[in-house]
Amino acid sequence: MSELTATQKDKLMADLRVVVADAEELLKLTAGDVGESTAGLRERLQQRLSDAKHSLLTLQASATEKAKAAGHAADDYVHDHPWKAIAVGAGVGLVIGLLIGRR
């Protein structure tokens, strides 16, 4: 399976948060039901909800760790090659300026 892009991961995390919130609300609303099948369903739902929260936290921690690593790598590169970084920044600024100026 191909790796997810940052945008896809952010959307997935947002969707999972919504599902978790909805499931928690459902559990609160059915708290008064005392049927045997309802109790079993609530237990399974609570377990799966707990697993989903754990997975969400793991995914978030992984994304944060990767972002920090990328930031550190960029910082190290700029410190090692300051003139190249300035040239690249100036080049990008020039291209953006030309594109804006064409309108």
The whole-number pLDDT of residue 33 equals 67
Q: Which of residues 89 and 27 earns the better pLDDT score?
A: 89
Q: Which of 25-29, 46-50, 58-62, 89-93 has the lowest mean pLDDT?
A: 25-29
d(CA 85, CA 62): 28
The whole-number pLDDT of residue 2 equals 47
Closest CA to 47 of 12, 23, 22: 23
Could you tell me the pLDDT band of residue 25, with boundaries at 50, 70 and 90?
A: confident
Q: Which of residues 59 and 84 earns the better pLDDT score?
A: 84
